[in-house]
């Protein structure tokens, strides 16, 4: 993960290297914790940063096997004063995975987890 310098005097386009994505961390007004969003690229326009092809990481547990996937958000606008950090990273496997793909992958992984003795562990963690 490589940090990208983000400031109002810098470039107006934020983009990751080939086959990479951006991780934008921001703090919403009145909140102490940071929120994160993943996207393909961003464009600074005045006092806001428009982020395109955004996705949030989430997971499901199908048959007691967890599997990450991307919840598509689309376009998102964040005021520049709320942006804390911007990072570039290689696109992880879950970034292009949809919920239906995650369900199928979890179903296929259930047997492997059972064979390895992890099915009971996953089940106990989700109860």
C-alpha 66 chain-centroid distance: 16
Q: For the segment 9-46, what is each residue's pLDDT rounded down to a tens digit?
A: 766 888 888 889 999 999 989 888 999 999 999 999 88
pLDDT for 114 equals 66
Please choose, from the candidates 17, 99, 14, 90, the residue with its C-alpha nearest in 3D space to the C-alpha of residue 56. Answer: 99
pLDDT tens per residue, range 43-87? 998 889 999 999 999 888 766 677 889 999 999 999 999 999 999
Instruction: Give the integer Cα–Cα distance in Å for 22 and 37.
Output: 8
Residue 125 has a CB neighbour count (10 Å cut-off) of: 10
pLDDT at residue 41, as a whole number: 94
User: For the whole model, what pTM was predicted?
Assistant: 0.77
Q: What is the DSSP string of 14-64?
A: EEPPTTEEEEEEE--TT-SS-EEEEESEEEEETTEEEEEEEEEEEEEEETT
């Amino acid at each position: 993960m490589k940090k990208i310098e983000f400031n109002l005097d810098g470039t107006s386009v934020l983009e990751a290297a080939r086959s990479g994505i951006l991780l934008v961390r921001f703090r919403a007004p009145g909140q102490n914790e940071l929120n994160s969003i993943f996207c393909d690229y961003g464009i600074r326009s005045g006092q806001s940063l428009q982020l395109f092809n955004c996705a949030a990481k989430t997971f499901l547990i199908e048959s007691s096997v967890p599997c990450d996937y991307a919840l598509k958000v689309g376009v998102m606008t964040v005021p520049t004063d709320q942006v804390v950090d911007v990072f570039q990273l290689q696109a992880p496997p879950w970034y292009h995975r949809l919920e239906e793909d995650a369900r199928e992958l979890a179903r296929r992984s259930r047997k492997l987890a059972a064979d390895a003795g992890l099915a009971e562990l996953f089940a106990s963690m989700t109860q």
